[in-house]
Structure 1
């Protein structure tokens, strides 16, 4: 008993790769850069103190 291999996808292959490349460079890389820029100057203790003063946390005084 021999099993036949599935035929490879040939139609729309280049379009699929183009869409993946667009997503990587158009969306993912910009998103990674935005996160890197945000966390480069982010001070978590300053943010915590602002939230504490605003009354967001009930257990921290």
Structure 2
């Protein structure tokens, strides 16, 4: 079982996506999906800070 809190797992996932997005050999369509996923995780992280989401 994962011992990290949900917000910590979201932060880790976002960091991995940001790292993947740094590669130049990603097709444009996949880059769009990566950017959308990163933006979604940004909003999710903001909801933790605003108290709108559960841990």
Both structures adopt the same fold (TM-score exceeding 0.5) = no
State the structure with more CA Rg: 1
Band the TM-score falls in, shorter-chain normalisation: 0.3 to 0.5
Indicate the structure with greater helix content: 2
The structure whose RCO (Cα within 8 Å, separation 6+) is larger is 2
